[in-house]
């Protein structure tokens, strides 16, 4: 059909051509480590979570005040027996590839992560889940091995994956979720690009496209922020806060510490472990490296907002004379201590490692400091055959419940705690008792005992509770969350 000599199609094209081109709202984020995988159920990996938290979703979420709220679940779960929780699911949701979100997807996700052949390292956060059964297309019963008041919190960690797509051999590089963003590019060693999923079941986020760059060096990240190359920098170093266009800070859940091997090497001797703690001036580290944006940890890796925090524990005092005496008594003078630290994963990790090694040298030891890339670090952490005497770590317990901490670090390695260098039957007994204790006061008392024993046995080098500090461009608006998650949907630019 023609009007005034033009076809309708031509007129339509001409009209659209005359409209102004609306640019996509794009941001670039600098994160400190590249993900080792984008399979959200496989491993602990901070870089992975930075990305997959925006691709995948969970049955239960936390709001900005850290309260548990329904996510993919239509409502909070109900306990239908001592060991069964029932979840009602939202309807009308699809994964990015069109697969339906339903009870089959939930059951599949739970079975997949617990499959022994899959070898997930996330099971410490999900301990006690016994399985899941479909009741109908939008109802699932999740079984626990015992009375477990933490099941709703655990489901904040278990991301839901599609049954078909997650079976593909390239799933770790081509993730498919229900979240507000989908992956469009991963150039290894360079960048990951996410695009807003316009069929998202909730309101569309403001940010349409996000590019993640992997920048482990703090000065490089700041330079990119000042040049307008980046809109967001995680783990902004303390000395750069005043130089950044904007900074967002919050005293968080992050606790730096080091795992001391109680099963091999010089640190098998309790006196050596005690000496390593007495040797460190933690206040000097807080002020010198973090410019006061940190405080000495109170002899545990959780803060006072977490259930199970022991208020009776205080920071290990700085006493180099006592440390030297302990090293001499243990016959450890001049002994080498292998100390592995990851580069770039946590703020000031390399500098912390260098400072700690210096303190240890002063008490008569020979620290063998090895700063390695994160993938190599994970291999050293998880393989007991190559576990060093001391390995640096930082712990962020978003469950805000001591069970996650003790299951991963205090429990014996032979019991499945892959991040542990301890074999302590007494602690194992207390952890088991706490897991089966329905009375919260009694359960909390058990956690206090566990924390006290970990302190008394010097199983760890207790370091600092640090602020979460982020750098922002002038156009970026965003507020940090207590749980340290970085959701694109909570960001906006002007």
**Among the four given CATH numbers 3.40.50.970, 3.90.76.10, 3.20.20.140, 3.40.50.1220, the one describing domain 56-167:** 3.90.76.10
Class of domain 27-54+179-245+473-494: alpha beta
Q: What are the structural domain ranges in the chain?
A: 27-54+179-245+473-494, 56-167, 252-466
Q: What is the DSSP string of 52-107?
A: HTTT--BSEEE-TT--EEESSBSS--EEEETTEEEEEBPSS-B-TTSPBPSHHHHH
Residue bearing the bigger pLDDT, 386 or 265 = 265
Q: Which of 13, 139, 164, 141 is nearest to 79 (CA)?
A: 141
pLDDT at 300 over 60: yes
For residue 259, pLDDT beyond 80: yes
Whether the predicted pLDDT of 9 surpasses 50:
no
Average of pLDDT values for 204-212? Answer: 97
Are the beta carbons of 56 and 160 closer than 8 angstroms? yes
Question: Strands 2-3 and 460-472, how do they pair?
Answer: unpaired
Position 237 scores a pLDDT of 86
CATH match for 252-466 among 2.60.40.1120, 3.40.630.40, 3.30.70.1340, 3.10.105.10: 3.10.105.10
Task: Provide mean pLDDT across the span 2-18.
Answer: 40
Q: What pLDDT score was predicted for residue 104?
A: 98
Residue 487 pLDDT level (bands cut at 50, 70, 90): very high
Give me the mean pLDDT over the 139-158 stretch: 92
Identify the pLDDT of residue 127: 78
pLDDT at 485: 92
| pLDDT at 438 (0 to 100) | 79
What pLDDT was estimated at residue 115?
96
Q: Does an H or E element contain 278, and which?
A: helix 270-278
Residue 233 has pLDDT above 70, yes or no: yes
Judge whether residue 30 has pLDDT over 60. yes
The confidence score (pLDDT) of residue 347 equals: 82
Find the mean pLDDT for residues 71-83. Answer: 96
Q: How many helices (H) and strands (E) does the chain have?
A: 14, 21
Q: What is the pLDDT of residue 320?
A: 98
Q: Kindly report, residue by residue over 349-392, the tens digit of the pLDDT.
A: 999 999 999 999 999 999 999 999 988 999 999 888 888 999 99
Instruction: Considering only residues 251 and 270, tell me which one the structure prediction assigns the higher pLDDT.
Output: 270
Helix (H) or strand (E) holding 130: strand 129-136
Asked whether residue 13 carries a pLDDT value surpassing 80, the answer given is no
Which residues, at least 6 apart from 409, have a Cβ–Cβ distance to it below 8 Å?
259, 301, 395, 417, 419, 420, 422, 460
Question: Does position 21 have pLDDT exceeding 50, yes or no?
Answer: no
- DSSP letters for 428-465: HHHHHHHHT---HHHHHHHHHHHHHHHHHTT-EEEEEE
Is the pLDDT confidence value at 207 over 70? yes
Rounded percentage of the chain residues whose pLDDT exceeds 90: 79
pLDDT at 63 over 60: yes
Instruction: Summarize the confidence of residues 37-50 as an average pLDDT.
Output: 92
Mean pLDDT, residues 61-69 taken together: 89
Q: How confident is the model at residue 19 (pLDDT cuts 50, 70, 90)?
A: very low
Higher-confidence residue of 269 and 3: namely: 269
The set of residues, in sequence order, having a beta carbon less than 8 Å from that of 444 and lying 6+ positions away, is 307, 308
For 155-200, how does the pLDDT look when each residue is reduced to its tens digit (9 = 90+)?
998 999 999 999 999 999 999 999 999 999 999 999 999 999 999 9
pLDDT at res. 437 = 85
DSSP H or E run through 339: strand 336-342
Instruction: Return d(Cα 128, Cα 347) in angstroms, integer.
Output: 33
Average pLDDT in the chain: 92
Who has greater pLDDT, 9 or 172? Answer: 172
């Amino acid at each position: 059909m023609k009007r005034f000599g033009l076809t309708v199609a031509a007129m339509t094209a001409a009209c659209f051509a005359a409209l102004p081109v609306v640019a996509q709202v794009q941001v670039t984020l600098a994160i400190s480590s590249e993900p080792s995988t984008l399979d959200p159920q496989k491993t602990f990996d901070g870089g992975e979570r930075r990305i997959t938290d925006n691709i995948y979703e969970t049955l239960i979420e936390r709001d900005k005040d850290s309260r548990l709220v329904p996510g993919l679940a239509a409502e909070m779960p109900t306990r239908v027996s001592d060991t069964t929780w029932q979840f009602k699911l939202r309807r009308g949701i699809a994964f990015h590839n069109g697969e339906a979100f339903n009870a089959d997807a939930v059951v599949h996700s739970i079975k997949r992560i617990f499959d022994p052949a899959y070898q997930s390292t996330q099971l410490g956060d999900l301990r006690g889940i016994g399985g899941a059964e479909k009741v109908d297309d939008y109802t699932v019963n999740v079984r626990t091995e015992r009375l477990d008041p933490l099941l709703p919190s655990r489901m904040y960690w278990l991301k839901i994956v599609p049954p078909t797509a997650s079976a593909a051999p390239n799933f770790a590089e081509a993730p498919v979720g229900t979240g507000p963003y989908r992956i469009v590019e991963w150039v290894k060693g360079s960048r990951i690009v996410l695009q807003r999923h316009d069929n998202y079941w909730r309101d569309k986020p403001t940010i349409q496209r996000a590019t993640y760059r992997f920048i482990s060096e703090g000065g490089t990240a700041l330079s990119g922020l000042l040049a307008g190359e980046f809109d967001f920098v995680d783990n902004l170093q303390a000395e750069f806060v005043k130089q950044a266009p904007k900074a967002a800070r919050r005293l968080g859940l992050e606790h730096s510490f080091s795992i001391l091997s109680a099963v091999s090497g010089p640190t098998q001797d309790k006196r050596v472990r005690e000496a390593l703690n007495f040797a460190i001036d933690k206040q000097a580290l807080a002020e010198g490296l973090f410019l006061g944006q940190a405080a000495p940890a109170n002899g545990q890796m959780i803060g006072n907002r977490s259930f199970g925090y022991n208020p009776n524990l205080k920071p290990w005092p700085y006493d180099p004379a006592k440390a030297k005496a302990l090293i001499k008594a243990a016959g450890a003078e001049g002994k080498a201590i292998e100390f592995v630290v990851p580069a770039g994963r946590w703020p000031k990790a390399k500098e912390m490692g260098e400072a700690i090694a210096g303190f240890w040298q002063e008490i008569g030891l020979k620290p063998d400091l090895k700063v390695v890339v994160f993938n190599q670090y994970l291999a050293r952490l998880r393989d007991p055959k190559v576990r060093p005497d001391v390995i640096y770590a930082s712990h962020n317990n978003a469950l805000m419940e001591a069970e996650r901490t003790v299951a991963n670090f205090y429990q014996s390695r032979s019991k499945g705690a892959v991040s542990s260098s301890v074999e302590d039957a007494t602690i194992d007994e207390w952890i088991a008792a706490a897991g089966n204790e329905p009375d919260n006061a009694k359960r909390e008392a058990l956690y206090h005992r566990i924390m006290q024993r970990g302190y008394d046995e010097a199983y760890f080098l207790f370091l600092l509770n640090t602020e979460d500090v982020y750098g922002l461009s002038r156009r970026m608006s965003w507020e940090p969350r207590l749980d340290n998650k970085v959701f694109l949907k909570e960001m906006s630019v002007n």
